[in-house]
Structure 1
């Protein structure tokens, strides 16, 4: 090296060099750039690097280098304190191990870029990191760092990129980061951060890329966030964010990627999202969004990927989406959509996987859905409706009279039937089923086995070890009310037995898992049969279902030692077995009535703010004292959509 004493720049990257970095490197005293990137050097990083007083760039990534741990931390790092002109230090992808030393504060104040990516370092980020006052890039990602994000990072006023992703950092996102007005990219994903998003994120007006995925962040996205009109990419996926998406989402005019999947977002998708004309990726999957898919999504002409799966979306798939010619990924599976699947534009290339597990979609056989029924000509439809206006009331009256006679005769045998139920169908001993059996029987609670989602959890189809098909209601324990709902549903359903009530096979409860294993109903819910285009109930089936529901309520009100009021009777809670016999289920908000006032009741209604049109018998069941079901009300309900 003595013959190269005047050498200023040495680039040896990607040459498959191996061995130790020689101590004699320090003899090249005028060296300003040393680049050994992507070789096979191993052994200790020499302390003699500190003798290169004019060194500005030191690139050592992607080797097998280690460092000696001394009382000062990494010994070579301590020696670099002599390199007062050092601007770039890249040590990434080397097994440095140990902790990030406090001696980092001895590095040159001229340092602009510090990269220590995937170096297997652990411990906390030292507060001394705030002394790198001229840093514009700080990347400590993919390590094993723990503890909080140091507030002193807020002193790095020139910082443009901060990447701490892929660690195990805890605590909340410090408000001090909001003082980094020049920050262009902030990546804190794949950590264990919690707490709400800082409301001051709106102060980061230079921010273009924000990645906070896979943390434990909760609460609503602050309304102030949607004022970041120049942001390009946002990823908040896999957190516990709740609330609704506001109309202000339309302010992010240049946004190209938005990922809010795997959160607890609810309410409708705002139509203003259709004004994000540059959007290429939109992922809102695995939330609790409801309502229709906005037609305005058809304005997103740059969209390449759209994922709305695993929500509670209803209505039809807008034909306006046929104009999205660049759309190559589309997923609306596991929702409550109905109607004809669009067939033009990008929909020519989508498979059945994009539409699976919806209530009543219809279309091409290749999509594994029912064919759509022929549309009725408007004039014929008007004529039919005119005829029904006069015929239906008379016809419905006849049905009501017949139903009243049936229930009256059944009521005469009521006490005897109730006694027969108690005598002939003894309560079975509850099966003991482990969590692992449930896990195996549902394919790891796979989305392919998801039957539906509700306010307190999700229901999966499972197959037990003996081949028995079951429905497994898994409670979301992140919701406080779910604990109460589980307790009361177990207590109510485990102590009642009637042919028209969903049977409980067992209840499974651990510290962090609660589920109820139920009898599987292959024909789904009454809601599907009443409101879907591809399912039809004839008159006799409607009468039988009406009688089944009435019988179940009569048993709950009069045939049990402690009267029970269901409190959430609606079509989706009436399930049909393979013989189309109706079974009432979901007792998550039932009332148990003693001799005086109610002695047990969960405090949260499962359907706040929603009631299916015409479900008057819900009012009857919720507000009445225990009494025989008014068959005329049930008749009207079952006949109203005929």
Structure 2
């Protein structure tokens, strides 16, 4: 850390120190947090009523021109209200029973949570033929679109800040109130970016609430995304907070390698996780997104060390414990022995 402060310009050094300090504080918070957090819980949430007619008019009758995303359970449109306000409207597919259940589950979860790094639900609109959630509009779209867009280039520090935002949101979901909430489907397409590039986790359609203070996991059959899903969930249907940590680790890998866990090269026994584990000891340059760091770049060594630290954390997040229950927060974030 001292070396970074010496070799980097003051402004850049401060960013590095702050982001790394935040990262390690998040680790300690994940390890030790047992009580509820009041982060955002007591903030008043204005409730505004919307009619179906108003939403039809604001989206030009849900035209394709206003369509900004399609998911398993619904489609998302940008809506321009008469007062000039822009919002996002998630319309659930009525023909699918799972979509209706997703709407109910998401409403139940969103009633309980409020945090800077979670997408704000403004209101809902529901009748026998129509169900929708009205959310704050995120002008920079999803992290997935931004990461793979040819017009958007995220540097090291932007990517670090986004992943810190995601970690803060997860910490709140898991420890911020008496009932832990598991997102169950954490991935770049479910992380949205506002006008300031602050990240917000979205889509709680398959999120699960763990009831009971001592309940660490639940057995349930639900949908999740292959590649980001923890092995114990895929094989045993076990949903627990560790599953979100695993997904977070995969997202860290994807964020800094710019490779999806579902890319064609990852077939059979070769996964994104294993690919990084095999090549990282050789050189971090073997796996990182080539746009992040070039050999002739100023302060190459310092940035290389940051990337190595981040990817080592990502591999720890995705370690499976010996009992097959997945990575335990207290274990994977423990301080490594300097003399193994």
For the aligned pair, the TM-score class normalised by the smaller chain equals 0.5 to 0.7
Aligned counterpart for 1:605 among listed residues 215, 219, 223: 223
Aligned-partner Cα distance in 1 for 2:218–2:239: 16
> Take 1:520 and 1:487, find their aligned partners in 2: how far apart are those partners?
21
Classify 1:546/1:585 alpha carbon distance in 2 versus 1 (closer, same or farther; 3 Å). same
1:384-395 matches, within 5 Å, as: none
Richer in helix (by share): 2
Would you say 1:495 and 2:106 are equivalent positions? no
Deviations 1:503-528 (A, max 9, x none): 00011110010000011000001111
Whole-angstrom CA distance in 1 between matches of 2:129 and 2:188 = 31
Q: TM-score, normalised by structure 2?
A: 0.61
Q: 2:71 aligns with which of 421, 432, 454?
A: 454
Q: Which runs of 5+ in 2 are unaligned?
A: 1-14, 259-288, 290-340
The DSSP-based 3-state class of the residue aligned with 2:69 is strand
Structure-1-length-normalised TM-score: 0.33
Number of matched pairs: 235
Match of 2:230 in 1: 619
What's the offset of the Cα at 1:532?
A: 2.6
- Structure-2 residue corresponding to 1:525: 142
For 1:602 and 1:440, locate their aligned partners in 2 and report how far apart those are by CA, in whole Å: 40
SS at match of 2:77: strand
Cα 1:431–1:402 change in 2 (3 A) is: closer
8 Å CA contact 1:567, 1:590 repeated in 2 = yes
Q: Deviations over 1:113-144 (max 9, x none)?
A: xxxxxxxxxxxxxxxxxxxxxxxxxxxxxxxx
Q: Does 1:638 align with 2:255?
A: yes
Q: Which one of the candidate residues 438, 444, 448 is aligned to 2:55?
A: 438
User: 2:37 aligns to what?
Assistant: 418
* Structure 1 stretches lacking a partner, 5+ long: 1-398
Change (3 A) 1:495 1:475: same
Deviation per residue, 1:416-436 (Å, 9 max, x gap): 99335335xx13132111111
Contact 2:217 2:240 in 1 (8 A): no
Distance 1:482 1:579, change over 3 A: same
Q: Distance in 2 between matches of 1:539 and 1:599?
A: 34
TM-aligned CA deviation for residue 401 of structure 1: 10
2: distance between equivalents of 1:419 and 1:571? 27
**Distance of 1:476 and 1:468 partners within structure 2:** 25
Q: Work out whether 1:509 is the aligned partner of 2:126.
A: yes
Q: Structure 1 422/562 Cα, relative in aligned 2: closer, same or farther at 3 Å? A: same
How many angstroms does 1:560 deviate by? 2.2
2:210 is the alignment partner of 1:593: yes
1:32 is matched with which residue?
none
- CA–CA separation in structure 2 for the residues paired with 1:601 and 1:460: 34
Cα offset, 1:635, TM superposition: 3.6
Contact 1:403–1:635 (CA<8 Å) still a contact in 2? Answer: no
CA distance in structure 1 between the partners assigned to 2:116 and 2:158 by the alignment: 17
Query: Does structure 2 conserve the Cα–Cα contact (< 8 Å) formed by 1:575 and 1:585?
Result: yes
Cα distance, 1:400 vs. partner? 11
Query: Does the 8 A contact of 2:218 with 2:239 survive in 1?
Result: no
Task: State whether structure 2 residue 187 is matched by structure 1 residue 576.
Answer: no
Query: What is residue 463 of structure 1 aligned with on the other side?
Result: 80
Superposed, which structure 2 residues align to 1:153-302 within 5 Å? none
Deviation string, structure 1 residues 393-415 (Cα, Å, up to 9, x no partner): xxxxxx99986532223566787
C-alpha contact 2:216 2:241 (8 A) present in aligned 1: no
Change beyond 3 A, Cα 1:621–1:413: same
Query: Residue 240 of structure 2 aligns to a residue in which SS?
Result: coil
Q: What RMSD in Å do the two structures reach over aligned CA positions?
A: 3.3
Secondary structure of 2:241's match?
Answer: coil
1:566 to 183, 194, 216: 183
Output the CA distance in 1 between the equivalents of 2:232 and 2:162: 17
Structure 1: how far apart are the matches of 2:55 and 2:147? 31
CA contact under 8 A between 1:473 and 1:516: conserved in structure 2? yes
Higher relative contact order (CA 8 A, sep 6+): 2
Q: 2:22 aligns with which of 397, 406, 430?
A: 406
What does residue range 86-105 of structure 1 map to in structure 2 within 5 Å? none
Q: Aligned partners of 2:104 and 2:90: how far apart in 1?
A: 13
SS in 2 for 1:419: coil
CA offsets, 1:296-336, max 9 Å, x none? xxxxxxxxxxxxxxxxxxxxxxxxxxxxxxxxxxxxxxxxx
